Structure 1
């Protein structure tokens, strides 16, 4: 008796053997990703409170500062939405589809880009404040601006 007769005793010539069921442990990869998403939502809530307090307490602030705060908040909101969609695609939509785990996830990549943009906005504003408080001494921005902008190219 041949091997295929043992596996498929009836009509073994017409059946195609199925791939064995494989168990992939995603606890070490997607568990921390889900936990990170929960922490990011917590910090996003704190960010929303900060934006609200800023807009209430400083209504006469420069329009450029308000635009920067709005840009950072909008980009952070996009980061949260894209992160949630990306984790949803891996853990809910792709549940049980092991080939889906090998695909690149565009929303998570876009969330990473949004995160870098928010970080660069905040660091450049901090660099501007350091420059102003140091008596407009140019040495600090000379080192901090390239370091802040360089993360956009990673």
Structure 2
């Protein structure tokens, strides 16, 4: 498979779509959209939001999902951006933001790779995050009450050794 057929196959498999697929973004109002991008550190360039401003080839950032991940009644947002300039071999990175009681947005975690929210949880009901990328043994991060920290490595739900 090559070109657009490969992208379609990846998209249908549930992978993160490039930001050119912004029609896939969840429905949120314009004020929240702007606040999320600004809190993620994005700036507008050529009509798109960009986090990695030094990457001349990025197609920009996209809000991949907005939902309550930890059960506190407030939504979290996941912003993704493509590009190997800032994200290396993973070719994508994410910023996880949480809506605060005052309605502002705050960065909870950011990393290079593809975030997958698991059924296992850390402090406060925050889901563990498997950070996908090249290879077959991915780091899993767990919320410790103040930050996402390395917890283990897994592949297809089974622990593994990255060595």
> Which TM-score bucket, shorter chain as reference?
under 0.3
- Higher-strand-fraction structure: 2
Compare CA radii of gyration and give the structure with the larger one: 1
- Higher-helix-fraction structure: 1
The structure whose RCO (Cα within 8 Å, separation 6+) is larger is: 1
TM-score by length of 1: 0.27
